[in-house]
Amino acid sequence: MSRAPALLLFAWLLLLVLAPPPVAGADGPYVAVGQLRGTINPAAASYVDRALGRAEADGAALFVLQLDTPGGLDSSMRQIVQRILASRVPVVVYVAPPGARAASAGVYIAYSANLAAMAPNTNIGSATPVAMSESGEAKLSDEMRSKMTNDAVAYLKSLAATRGRNATWGEDAVRQAINAPANEALELGVVNYVAEDLPDLLRQLDGAQLPGAQGQGSLRPSSLPVQRLDMQPLEGLLHALADPTIAYLLLSVGTLALMVELYHPGAIFPGVTGALCLLLAFYGLGTLPVNLAGVLFIVLGVALFALDVVTPTHGVLTVGGILSFLLGSAVLINAPDGAPYLAIAWQAIALVTLFFVLFFGFLLGTVVRIQSRRSVNGRDALIGQRAQVRSPLNPSGLVFAQGELWSATTDGEAIPAGEWVEVEGVNGLRLRVGRAAVISAPAVETAEPAAGA
């Protein structure tokens, strides 16, 4: 298959995979269920907006958002909160499944819902805001940190007042980063229900009165059909890209693919793959607190690897490249204390570094082997070859080498026609030869060239 049809087929398959699946419209009231797992980022905010819009357009009676998040961006969190507050469909945030959490930004999202619920063995809390800079967690003055904290407290207390939640606990979650498990959160009035699973939650919601701006309408969701409004493939991809480890792996794979394209121009596929991986990596890194110094260290490491292939230094540049790449990988993402979800997995750093070492080590070994071989092409290939004297060398004459007649000269005594000599050097179009060692003569070539050289 030629390259153009292959690339078109690849693009068609990619579109087929990422295309949103068809969703059948509901015939009547139903319960829409969405799921938000992972960090809160622009892709998560876009998903919640789309899912709620779909629920409103289809006449859903209730929207349940299953939440499991370690936190995320303040701007994306506020977009989600604003969308939930403006929703025409009652919203229930359900921290699930067991083992899930609603930390940091998740606390605000849970407080913004009409009703909140938690599964057993889940927790909620740690809503202290953190400011980031290019060098990591920003060192703020007491006044600035106080402003940020008071702003977050006021925001959470306003949500608590609107939805009838425990404002005092919410303030402590911001100022002291406290947490509460499911049963304790229920006792404190942080959430309204503790439910084993979704069907249990819907049964408990029967007859519930909606507080706040939605009025005092009574819910009866247990008898309604359930329709899932999960992330579409493209939304899931963009959301996953915000994972530091995934973004780091894409950055590494993209860099390696482009290096392969540079070493094998015209391969096309490595170049296209590398460009796509780098673009996806840049999108993901754009949602993360990236350290510019880490990027520069990684670039320097790759450059040192490449230079050692072009100008071998017996591994000196490779060692420098390994150290630079490791250091850049370690500081690429500024993960503040209490936010390990923003750190790159050390296993990924070790695996990628090892792969880079093996890749460039293979290239370096190949270059060294090629450079150590004797040339088999061109005039240099004649050196060391045997030739037969056709006209006496005294000191110049003609010899027959590799199917051609060559002008030749010798520095020693005259050599008569018919004897064998060995090529010692090439001077332009003239060979410098010397008498060959006495061995069994090879078969005499009888084919004469059309013209001498």
The CATH number assigned to the domain holding 390 equals 2.40.50.140
Specify the pLDDT at position 414. 87
| Mean pLDDT computed over 238-265 | 83
> Of all residues in the chain, what percent carry a pLDDT higher than 70?
78
Specify the pLDDT at position 203. 94
Residues 41 and 120 occupy one common structural domain: yes
The answer as to whether 220 is a domain residue is yes
Helices (H) and strands (E) in the chain, counts: 14, 16
C-beta of residue 78 within 8 angstroms of C-beta of residue 104: no
Residues 286 and 352 occupy one common structural domain: yes
- What is the value of pTM for the model shown? 0.66
Residue 260 or residue 34, greater confidence: 34
43: left (phi over 0), alpha (psi -120 to 50) or beta: alpha
pLDDT at 17 over 50: no
pLDDT band of 321, cuts 50, 70, 90: confident
349, 372, 395 — which closes off a domain? 372
> Of all residues in the chain, what percent carry a pLDDT higher than 90?
34
The answer as to whether 332 is a domain residue is yes
The answer as to whether 6 is a domain residue is no
As to burial, measured by CB atoms within 10 angstroms (0-12 exposed, 13-18 middle, 19+ buried), residue 41 is buried
Specify the pLDDT at position 16. 46
Residues 391 and 413 occupy one common structural domain: yes
The candidate with the shortest Cα–Cα distance to 192, out of 179, 211, 176, 178, is: 211
pLDDT at 403 over 50: yes
> Strands 193-194, 115-118: parallel, antiparallel or unpaired by DSSP?
parallel
Per the structure, the complete domain to which residue 355 belongs is given by: 243-372
Lowest-confidence segment of 126-135, 300-309, 391-400, 411-420 by average pLDDT: 126-135
184, 208, 231 — which closes off a domain? 231
pLDDT at 429 over 90: no
Residues 213 and 289 occupy one common structural domain: no
The answer as to whether 82 is a domain residue is yes
Residues 366 and 400 occupy one common structural domain: no
175, 207, 231 — which closes off a domain? 231
Residues 59 and 197 occupy one common structural domain: yes
Lowest-confidence segment of 86-90, 234-238, 268-272, 360-364 by average pLDDT: 360-364
Specify the pLDDT at position 325. 86
The answer as to whether 238 is a domain residue is no
pLDDT band of 451, cuts 50, 70, 90: very low
Residues 342 and 392 occupy one common structural domain: no
Specify the pLDDT at position 339. 62
The answer as to whether 441 is a domain residue is no
C-beta of residue 389 within 8 angstroms of C-beta of residue 421: yes
| Mean pLDDT computed over 391-395 | 88
The total number of structural domains that make up the chain: 3
d(CA 411, CA 416): 14
pLDDT at 418 over 60: yes
Residues 358 and 398 occupy one common structural domain: no
Residues 328 and 413 occupy one common structural domain: no
Residues 175 and 76 occupy one common structural domain: yes
| Residue 120: C-alpha distances to residues 1, 170, 196, 369 (Å) | 56, 20, 6, 63
424: left (phi over 0), alpha (psi -120 to 50) or beta: alpha
Using one digit for the tens of pLDDT, what is the confidence trace for 94-152? 999 999 999 999 999 999 999 999 999 999 998 888 755 444 445 656 787 888 899 99
Lowest-confidence segment of 174-188, 303-317, 399-413, 416-430 by average pLDDT: 303-317
The answer as to whether 443 is a domain residue is no
Residues 155 and 57 occupy one common structural domain: yes
C-beta of residue 417 within 8 angstroms of C-beta of residue 392: yes
CATH number of the domain residue 54 falls in = 3.90.226.10
Lowest-confidence segment of 8-12, 152-156, 253-257 by average pLDDT: 8-12
Angle at 147 between CA 142 and CA 152, to 5 degrees: 125
Residue partners of 132: CB distance under 8 A and separation at least 6 = 138, 289, 334, 336
Which token pair is 200? 């249990």
Residues 119 and 71 occupy one common structural domain: yes
d(CA 285, CA 332): 9
The answer as to whether 53 is a domain residue is yes
Residues marked as catalytic: 104, 147
Return the percent helix, strand and coil in the chain, to nearest 5: 50, 20, 35
